[in-house]
Chains A and B, each alone.
Chain A
Amino acid sequence: MNSGILQIAEKYLRWLFLVFAIFALFRGHNLPGGGFIGGLMAAMAFVFRGFAYSADEVYQSMKIKPETYLVIGFTAVILSFVPGMIAGKTFFEGVWLSADLGQLGLLKLGTPLLFDIGIFLVVIGVTVLFLFSLKRSD
C-alpha cells in the first residue's frame, strides 16, 4: 500500500501509540495495564508503519531487530528474579525500593516493574516478528 495520507498520519500516530504504550506499562500492577498490553500497543506503532510503507522497508530500518527485543526482554524477566533470590525471599516474590521525592510523592520501584518491562519488550519482539514474517516478501 502506498498512501500518502496513511504515511503522514503514521508520523503523528506513532508517538501517540508509544506514549500510551508506556503509560499502560507504568500504570500496570495495581491498575489495568502492564507489560503485555503496553507491549501490544507499542507493537502497533511498528505494525502501522509496516502498513504505511512496506514490512521489508520497516524491518530494514529498524535499528534494533525484533530478535534483540526478545533477548533483552527475556533477560530482563530473568533478572527480575535475582533480587528476590538474593534477599532470600520466595521465588517470584517482589522486592520493592521506595524513594521519597518530596513534592512529587513516593516513588516505588520494584522487581515487578522490571518483569513488566521485560514482558513489554518480549511482546513487542514477538508481535513484530510474527506479523512481519507474514507480511515480508522473502
Chain B
Amino acid sequence: MTLAIPILIPLVFMIFMILRLPERVTRTAGISGSTLMLAAAVFILIKVKTEGIQTLYLGAWEAPYGITFVADPFSALMLVVSSVIMMAISLYAIHFLSSEYRSGKFYIFFFTLAVGLNGAFLTGDVFNLYVWIEVMLLSSFVLMTMGKTQDKLRGGIKYLALNLIGSLFFLAGIGLLYGKTGTLNMAHLAQIVQSSEQTQWLNTPAMLIFLAFGIKSAVFPLFFWLPASYHRPNITVSSMFAGLLTKVGVYALIRFFTLFFVQDPSFWHNLILIIAGFTMVVGGMAASTQYDTRRILSYHIISQIGYMVMGLGIFTPLAIAGAVYFMIHNMIAKTNTFLVAGMIQKVKGSFDPKNIGGLFTESPFLAVLFIIPAFALAGIPPLSGFFGKFILIKAGIESGQYLITAVAVLTGLLTLYSMIKIWNEAFLKKGEADSETKKLTFSEALPSVILGLISVLMGIFAAPVFDFASEAAEVLMENTKYIESVLK
C-alpha cells in the first residue's frame, strides 16, 4: 500500500487542479501537494532503510504475473530527491511563472509529470516503465509548449519527435524481451537470464533499449533534442526538466544494465565508457561555446550525464555508488543553477551574461546563491560535486580505467571554465551605471536557498550520504537480493 501513495497523491492533486480554481488556491495546493509527496517519499526511504526492499503486488497478482512495484534503496533515493526538486519548483513557480501560464493549468501537468516520475522510479515491470515514461513525456511536452509561441512549439516538436523515436526503440526492445522470455517482470527477467546458458540474443534488445534510454538521457550522440528545447520554456519549467527528465533515462539504464542486461560485460562496459567519455567532452565543449546562461547550462546537463554513465561503465560497487551519489548531487545542483539563472533574469532582465554586470556588488546574496551550485557542479570542495567526482575518479583509477578517468578530470576544468564565464560576465564585470536592478525578495530566493543548503550539507556530511549510496549500489550489483524480494 505504501508504495502506491507517491502515485496517488499527485493523481488526486491533478484532479483537483482541473477544476478552475482561483490562483491562490491552486498555488497553496501545489505547494502542499508536493510537500505531501516529499513526506511520502521520505517515509518510503526510511522503510526501505529499516526493513529492506519493499514490494507491492498491484491487485494482489503475484509476481511475475501482475505488475509489481518495487522500492529498493536506489529507487527510494531517487524518489526523495525528485520530490525535493518538485517541492522547490512548486515554491519557485509562485513568483516565476509568467502570465501566459495559468497556474492551475501548470499544476495539472506538474502533477501528471510527478505521477509519471514516481511511477517510473517505483515500477518493477518493464512495460509498466514504458507507460510511466510516456506519461512523463506527454506532460512534459505540454509544459514545454505552454504559452503557444512559435519558438516554444519549435523546441517542443523536436523534443517530442526525438523522444517518441526513443520510445519506439524501447517498445521494440520490450517486445523482443517478452517474445523470448515470456515475462515483463524485471526480477523474473533477471532470473531467467541468470539461469539460461545462451544469452547472446539479449544483445539485440539490450542495444534497442540502450538506444532508447540513450535518447532519453541525452548521451552522445543522441542529445540533439536537449539543447534545442530546454532553454525555450519558462525558466520554472526548464529548471524542473533539467533536474528530472534526463535522470529517469539514467536511472533506467543503471537499473537494466545491473539487473538483467549482464551478458557480454566486456563489450557493453567498453561501449558505455566510450559513450560516457564523448558525452562528457562534447557536452562540456559545447557549453563553453555558448553565451545564453540557459544554453550553457543545458549543454552542461549533457556533460554531467557522462559522469553518471561512466560510473555504470566502470561497473564496480564503488563506481555505481559514485554514480548514485553523483546523480543525487547533480539533480539538486543542476536545478539550482537554473533557478538562479531565472533569478538573474528577474533582477537584470536578461539571460545573456554579456548584458549583465556588476551583480556581485549590487546583490551579493544572489552571488552566493549562484556560486554554491556552480562550484558544486564544477567539483570544488567541500561542496557535493567534489565528492561525487572524487568517488568516480577513485573508482576509475582502482579499476585501471585511466583514459576515462583523465577525461573526467579534464571535463571538470571545462565545467569550471563555463561557470567562471558566467561568473565573470554577470557578477564581476562592472555594470552599466544606469542599468535597472530589481530587488529580490527572500521568498523568491527560498527554493534556491533550500537546494543550495542541500548541496552544502551533502558536501559536509558526505559520509552518511555516501554510505547510503553504496548500500544502494550493493543491492544493484548483487541482484539476487532484488530478485528474491520480488519473487518470494
Contacts and interface: CB of A to CB of B under 8 A. Distances in A.
- A and B together in one complex: yes
Interface of A: 67, 70-71, 74-75, 78, 81, 85, 89-94
Given A74-B11, A78-B8, A78-B12, A91 B1 contact: yes
A75 B15 contact: yes
Interface residues of B, number: 16
Given A70-B18, A71-B18, A71-B19, A91 B58 contact: yes
A94 to B, nearest CB: 7
Interface in B364-421: none
B59 A93 contact: yes
Contacts of B8: 78, 81
A-B CB proximity, top 6 nearest: A90-B60, A92-B59, A92-B58, A74-B15, A93-B60, A91-B4
A90 B12 contact: no
B18 A89 contact: no
Contacts of A71: 15, 18-19
Interface of B: 1, 3-4, 8, 11-12, 14-15, 18-20, 56-60
17 contacts: A67-B18, A71-B18, A71-B19, A74-B15, A74-B18, A78-B11, A78-B15, A85-B1, A90-B1, A90-B56, A90-B58, A90-B59, A91-B1, A91-B4, A91-B56, A91-B59, A93-B60
Contacts of B18: 67, 70-71, 74
A78 B3 CA distance: 16
Nearest to A73: B15
Nearest to A70: B18
Contacts of A94: 59
A69 B11 CA distance: 16
Nearest to A91: B4
Nearest to B108: A70
Contacts of B57: 90
A75 B4 CA distance: 16
Contacts of A67: 18, 20
A89 B19 contact: no
B90 to A, nearest CB: 20
Contacts of A92: 4, 58-60
A93 B66 CA distance: 11
A94 B57 CA distance: 13
Contacts of A91: 1, 3-4, 56, 58-59
A70 B16 CA distance: 11
